[in-house]
Structure 1
């Protein structure tokens, strides 16, 4: 998981200020949302939490086991987010929380009006979506690995909620909230593509392009070539891909190559130059720099860890 996709967190509550050691809650109320910061300082099981609005939760530190939709629990770790619909009970275990190793997360409840207004505006202005019919959130993809853009806007929103003191705080938060919803939608679109691109590739242009990228990741892939696969002009393809998935086609290609390189490094037994070539890089120095930027460590250090 990319190191820069983790959230920066917020200061811990002083132990004298804690009202409870399990899900101690600090709340920041804004016009269109409510930012809650939860800390848990001891092991606990079957802690229930529910909100009346849709909630974006994001792990800052520690580990939870989250139970949702009457499904088996799953590990919930820093670098991940979970979207929870209104009035859905979250059942949470804290298997590792201790006074010297507490768990910290946020829960951002967002008003129904803000969500509807944001996506209605997007559907009016950018109605020519390719991957899905319209802008919105799909609760089929509720457990997300944070992208860099999503992490950055969540971090920014935490700073606004916790530290912003200006009279314009609610307006600033409202603008950030709109961007957050867009990044969430784009992150979900990428999650959906990763799981369905093969079955969608015969009838969806972006899925067809993603399938082509994955099948030819070791080749010299060019933007013109990808636009041709999508039957779009280069400018239209670039704009559509970035708008719907949150990154450019060539950024996507780079991330796919780095994912492949990481797999080779985990297998072991390869020289760094071999891994670079097998993953589609023709410049080892560039590969090492890109790998470190994505994963926070060099390929050699990752291999030896």
Structure 2
């Protein structure tokens, strides 16, 4: 199906709630959903792994995660096979529809990628091998994943003779990113629970979490993990995609966000309680992570202004050349 046909079908919707235009590939199917009026509890599920990304507007997702969660542009929401989710569309309008793109990926392709990673990039023996965990995953994604999704949309609507091969290459990359993101999320979630450390990396993560305001001592951290400093850094990069210092910074900023939402402590108190050395440095780091300075983030959360903070690691403004917005040929 060409880009022109996709555009025409979207311009002449058959339904006003979750109007779907789909394009099939050999191992996946890409769909664009447009919703033109507010709606509640609209069901969605698939027999395959379903990777969803917002294009415009927002959704409120129920049933797949613990409690309802808002789904915005710059985020991925991934459903396991046969896992239902129920969606609210609070902001959809005829002149500003809520739009989402989904990619249904065959379970066999996901398993092929797991098998390849276990051969080419095996995990540390103390950790589980690469495998897909059939559970919902809601995460922010960066520019690289956003660009990959845009590339998939173009490829699905292309008539290139190598179309299917190029789609499979992009799907392999998307699945690899999904597996790495999921393994990191599971590792961090398990680390936040009580009980003894299960392996060296778990011990290091726990030490950072329990000593969040303390300046990071990499030698002490290596001793806690019972491994050399070099091996510890490799473990962090391989499993979490960051250094120990970057991981500590992320936890500090997440804690700051939570305190700004839940506590009445001043921004200055939160800054120094979390180990930042200066208020100006904390403000710069927080704005880069959350999209707004701390005081405006708190005001936004409590409904005192109309700022819309970008999600962590997501674009801070719409790109003028974004093909997902209306996808005109």
Structure 1 pair 73/215, CA: closer, same or farther in 2 (3 Å)? closer
Number of the residue aligned with 1:64: 59
The residue number in structure 2 matching 1:301 is 296
Alignment CA distance shift 1:131-1:46 (3 Å)? farther
TM-score normalized by structure 2?
A: 0.75
1:95–1:263 CA distance, 2 compared to 1 (3 A): closer
- Which residue does 2:133 correspond to in 1? 138
* SS of equivalent to 1:199: coil
Query: Aligned pairs, how many?
Result: 289
SS in 1 for 2:194: helix
User: Is the 8 Å Cα contact of residues 49 and 104 (structure 2) preserved in structure 1?
Assistant: yes
Structure 1 equivalent of residue 307 of structure 2: none
CA RMSD of aligned residues (A): 3.1
**Relative to 1, partners in 2 of residues 1:278 and 1:120: Cα closer, same or farther, differing over 3 Å?**
same
State the secondary structure of the residue aligned to 1:302.
helix
Deviations 1:65-118 (A, max 9, x none): 44547x987344115433323344444443443224422222111122321111
Task: For residues 174-215 of structure 1, give each alpha carbon's deviation from its aligned partner in whole angstroms, at most 9, with x where no partner exists.
Answer: 333333223222322333244321335432222221111111
Corresponding position of 1:40? 35
**Which deviates more, 277-286 or 60-69?**
60-69
Which of 203, 211, 220 matches 2:198?
Answer: 203
Q: Please show how residues 22-37 of structure 1 align to structure 2 within 5 Å.
A: 22-37=17-32
1:204-283 paired onto structure 2 within 5 Å: 204-266=199-261, 267-272=263-268, 274-283=269-278
Report the equivalent of 2:3. Answer: none
Shift of 1:168: 5.2
Cα distance in 1 for residues equivalent to 2:30 and 2:179? 20
Assess if the C-alpha contact under 8 Å between 1:209 and 1:230 holds in 2. Answer: yes
Q: TM-score, normalised by structure 1?
A: 0.80
Q: How far 1:48 sits from its partner (Å)?
A: 3.8
Q: Distance in 1 between matches of 2:132 and 2:98?
A: 27
Query: Counterparts of 1:293 and 1:246 in 2: how far apart (Å)?
Result: 18
Question: 2-side partners of 1:293 and 1:168: how far apart?
Answer: 40
Q: C-alpha separation between the residues in 2 aligned to 1:282 and 1:263?
A: 20
1:94 aligns with 2:89: yes
1:175 and 2:169 equivalent?
yes
Shift of 1:246: 2.9
Match of 2:68 in 1: 74
Asked whether the equivalents of residues 111 and 132 of structure 2 are also in contact (C-alpha less than 8 Å), the reply is: no
**Runs of at least 5 residues in structure 1 that lack an aligned partner in the other structure:** 1-10
Aligned partners of 2:267, 2:43: CA distance in 1, in Å? 49
Uncovered stretches (5+) of structure 2, i.e. residues with no partner: 1-5, 301-329
> What is the match of residue 184 of structure 1?
178
